[in-house]
Amino acid sequence: MSLSPSTGFPLEEEYKKNTGITPWEIAELRSWLETQPHLPSDVITDMDLILAHHSCKRNPEQTKQVLELHYTLKTQYSFFQNRTLDDEMELTLKRMLLKPLPSRTKDGYAVFYSRLLDFEPKHLILQEALKSVLMVLDLWQYLEGTWPGLVIIFDLEGFRLSHMFRLELQTVQQFLHYLEHAMLVQLKGIHLMNAPFFANRLLMILKRFVGSEMMHLVNTHTAGSNTLAEYVDVEILPKEAGGSFRSLEECRDDTIAMMKKNKDFFLQENKKRVTESLRPKKSQNKKKAEKCHNID
């Protein structure tokens, strides 16, 4: 698997995947999209529609709700604003590792690995960290198209109580809300690796902001345990995390290179935002959209 191309995953290859999604289904969604003047239909691609449709298991009504919420939240939440690889963003990518792993789980799920590289608490800027996470995930999907599912590993090595005290609750709530309801992917698992002694406090924060379905996806793994191996082959992880993949430094450089090579992707992605003044009065409201989950 290569993450180097500067063009997105080809549609003809996407339709060959075992998703069941057909060009006819996407054409139907495109026709609906043209009736929604507030949505940026001119820049929403067929791949965007495929990702949304796949995340909703081909349920057209749920797909429309998720598309509505996806672009609404991307317009409202601050960590979706001005997405570009500037000096501040590049510094964040040097302080924390955000690595799409090349190997898959036994079920074919994509695996995203994240951890701190710089353990200094004052260097954790939550807005920039979450902005970076979602930028890398969006670009990765652009390069690879749909996956059967996504597993996210947050390696908490070096994460201290002083880091937790820097978590802004509103930002955490918004991130989790987007992850649970509006990200265009079937989320299959969230794993807290090397969980510290205060992991229960982290879980209490999660429980405040997410539903029971998503909480069932969260698993904690204490340092020295082998419980993660029940879900993911640990050999696919970086060397310093107990795997046989590349080093943390090499993984960091890979991600930065991927982002630099695909800067133009975000020039276009930044245009995919809602124009509230054009929203029809009878448009599906957010409360209805929030009922749609993209998790198992």
Give the architecture-level CATH label for domain 83-264. 3-Layer(aba) Sandwich (3.40)
What pLDDT was estimated at residue 284?
46
* Pairing outcome for strands 150-155 and 110-116: parallel
What pLDDT was estimated at residue 289?
45
Interval 152-192: pLDDT, tens: 999 999 999 999 999 999 999 999 999 999 999 999 999 99
Axis-axis angle for helices 60-76, 23-33 (nearest 10) = 50
| pLDDT confidence tier of residue 46, bands split at 50, 70 and 90 | very high
Dihedral pair phi/psi, residue 42, rounded to 5°: -70, -20
Average pLDDT along the chain: 92
Interval 234-245: pLDDT, tens: 999 999 999 999
Tell me the domain boundaries of the chain: 11-76, 83-264
| Residue 68 near residue 284 (C-beta atoms within 8 A) | yes
Mean pLDDT of 17-44: 97
**Residue percentage of the chain with pLDDT more than 70:** 93
Interval 194-208: pLDDT, tens: 999 999 988 998 899
pTM of the model: 0.92
